[in-house]
Chain A
Amino acid sequence: MPRSVELEVCELTKRYSQEVSVGPISFEVYEGEFFSLLGPSGCGKTTTLRCIAGFEELSQGSIKLRGERLDRKPPHRRDVGLVFQNYALFPHLTVFDNIAFGLKLRRLAKSEIAERVGRVLQLVDLADMAARFPAQLSGGQQQRVAIARSLVLEPRILMFDEPLSNLDFKLRTQMREDLRNLQRRLGKTSIYVTHDQTEALALSDRIAVLSHGRIEQIGTPSDIYERPATAFVAEFIGSSNMLRARIVEGGDSGMIVVTDAGLRLCCSLPANDEFDASEDVSILLRPERVQVETPRGGTSPGQNRVSARIADVTYLGEDLHLSVDLVSGDRLRASLKNANAARGWAPQQAVEIVIDAADIRLLRR
């Protein structure tokens, strides 16, 4: 069943000056979806969010909420909730009054306000904090008040501007899960802006990766990670080995590529990708897909086996990061779980690198 489009951003463009501009950006957010805008700082993700909220005027393009033009309405009439990066709680109001702020503006009856605020306080697990002032709350609690304050108005869309960036690591992980559960439970259409790929991957139904004011790719977390459309996406999401190469042999079942340094690899491609023979490409290989074994020689179908030497081992507790020099002269990074087999690796050791043909991703240059 195709889901209905809740928000439609069409050719959104914002020009600040001759050099600095964002867009054109186009995307759709479906009803009940958790949609993330992911990119480095300055990529235009926050600008996009502020355009939707109405704090920035579009230079060009349109924004539609359920088919209705949104970009001509003043910010206070948009029905789009925004959770600010610094929470923007009113310091002179209690938690209760912060949350009741929007309800009072809508002139609801006192009893209804109390009831709705009470319900949403339960939802974010702050029922006993209603009389506190924001300054008396921890960062995580303030964050939940900010979410509750937007939620209580039951906006069409809930937007988050890097909401977890001011929290420490542990709390961030906790809040990420809480946010995920809350959104799943309420089925609220959400737009989430972040520069943190882990957050985007963990929370989103779909992610739009932005760079320099343009969308590089829109897709599910696994699309974005497994099948990045551009070198930028591949580099930005996770870490990756990128090698320049040329296709030397094409075929239905797979193709042979040779890196600039002379390493010959076979790779199998998803059917919809079409490459010409002898085309220049970049090959992308995720470090965790690089397997490191003791040398035993021989080949197996669908696998590349290459002799190599360990150049460096970085100990990270959970993981080990290895730099390996291949016989061809290429250097690859490998990420291994710190489990039995991996614990013996040391620099200068001769090893064999195993790469599944299906794990190699080709990108046009």
Chain B
Amino acid sequence: MEGTGTRPIWTFLIGPYALFLLFLLVVPFANVAVYSFHPYSPTKVFLPELTLDNYTRLFDLYYGRLFVRTLRLGLITTVVCVVLGYPLAYFLARALPRVQALCLFLLIMPLMVSAVIRVFGWIVILGRKGLANQALAALGLEPVRLLYSETAVVIGLVNIFVPFMVLPIMASIERIPPSLEEAAQNLGANWYQMFWRTILPLSLPGLISGCLLVFSLSISAFVTPALMGNARERMVGQQIYDEVLVSFNWPGASSLALTLVLLTVGLMFCALFATRHASRREAAR
């Protein structure tokens, strides 16, 4: 019964967090958006007149390369996470509850370590005199330069983001009854045919959300590329950091940030639209 003067219950349920988001995300983000349309001034943060210069400069070769590199590293990280994470997710989804609990704990444990400590761990392993090169030396091979390269960045990112790939895929595979696998085999499908025709299409929603999560987290990564990458091959996050804290070009940093966000959101919509389309076509086939 709706009486006058009583608020619907949902205002109490989502209200506090909505307020939190409004003041700590929406308002600052709107502020960033506003900054990005004002010219840079070394003395006054920004000048009052409006301009699109902050965006047009993004068409420079330097920024073009920056974005391409960022997207490429994000894509590689995502693909590696799928390759490593999907089989793991399948195993976990079909494992005994006790095994699953233990493995999930091991999977999530790296996330409980702070990013900086984890990266220093990698530096110890991948460094010039690190474990990896000592192992190579023991085998009589030349040491290789692993740290401060794109490879190191991908290794670091994959390390953090694999759980974000595994968890949604695992959740969607868990919802597929094992009897479906048996039914497919009973109808004449070998394991691979069964996988391609039942498990994969049915776990697609999980796979898509895993990819979106990992990709958007990767392209906005900062700590890992800053500590494990090299200064010449940076990602957008590092560039934003530099423009905010080194050159104090807040409008420039704002335009970069906004572009990154729009790119991410745009890609997400494309992906969601494509999967919707794909599942409908799959259904119609």
Contact = CB atoms under 8 A, between A and B. Distances in A.
Interface in A44-60: 53-55
Contacts of A106: 188
Contacts, number: 71
A92 interface: yes
A55 B187 CA distance: 13
Interface string B199-223: 0011000000000000000000000
B185 A75 contact: yes
A76 B177 contact: no
Nearest to B175: A91
A346 to B, nearest CB: 52
Contact of B285 (A53, A55, A86, A97): A97
Contacts of B184: 90, 101
A105 B279 CA distance: 20
B207 to A, nearest CB: 14
A153 interface: yes
B259 interface: no
B145 interface: no
Interface string A54-87: 1100000000000000000011111011101110
B285 A102 contact: no
Given A93-B283, A97-B285, A105-B193, A88 B188 contact: no
B188 A105 contact: yes
Given A101-B197, A102-B188, A86 B179 contact: yes
A305 interface: no
A149 interface: yes
Nearest to A101: B187
B190 interface: yes
A114 to B, nearest CB: 13
Interface size class of B (residues with CB under 8 A): 20 to 34
A133 interface: yes
A153 B182 contact: no
Given A84-B179, A88-B179, A88-B182, A149 B285 contact: no
A53 B187 CA distance: 11
Contacts of A76: 185-190, 193-194
A301 to B, nearest CB: 58
B187 A105 contact: yes
A130 to B, nearest CB: 12
A144 B183 CA distance: 15
A101 B282 CA distance: 13
A90 B265 CA distance: 32
A90 B180 contact: yes
A141 interface: no
Given A76-B189, A101-B197, A84 B182 contact: yes
Nearest to B198: A90
A81 B189 CA distance: 13
B186 A91 contact: no
Interface string B95-138: 00000000000000000000000000000000000000000000
A139 to B, nearest CB: 16
Given A55-B182, A75-B182, A105-B193, A92 B187 contact: no
Interface in B238-285: 279, 282-283, 285
A88 B193 contact: no
B183 A92 contact: no
A40 B196 CA distance: 37
A220 interface: no
A204 B198 CA distance: 34
A132 B19 CA distance: 44
A94 interface: yes
Contact of B190 (A74, A81, A133, A150): A74
A82 to B, nearest CB: 5
A97 B201 CA distance: 14
A256 B188 CA distance: 60
A106 B189 CA distance: 9
A88 B283 contact: no
A54 B282 CA distance: 29
Contacts of A91: 202
Given A90-B180, A105-B193, A53 B186 contact: yes
Given A81-B186, A102-B187, 4 more contacts: A74-B190, A84-B182, A90-B202, A105-B189
Interface of A: 53-55, 74-78, 80-82, 84-86, 88-94, 97, 101-102, 105-106, 133, 149-150, 153
15 contacts: A74-B190, A76-B185, A76-B187, A80-B186, A82-B183, A82-B186, A84-B179, A84-B183, A88-B182, A90-B197, A91-B202, A93-B283, A101-B197, A102-B189, A150-B187
Interface of B: 177, 179-180, 182-190, 193-194, 197-198, 201-202, 279, 282-283, 285
| Across the A-B interface, the 7 shortest Cβ-Cβ residue pairs | A102-B187, A88-B183, A88-B179, A75-B185, A105-B188, A76-B185, A82-B186
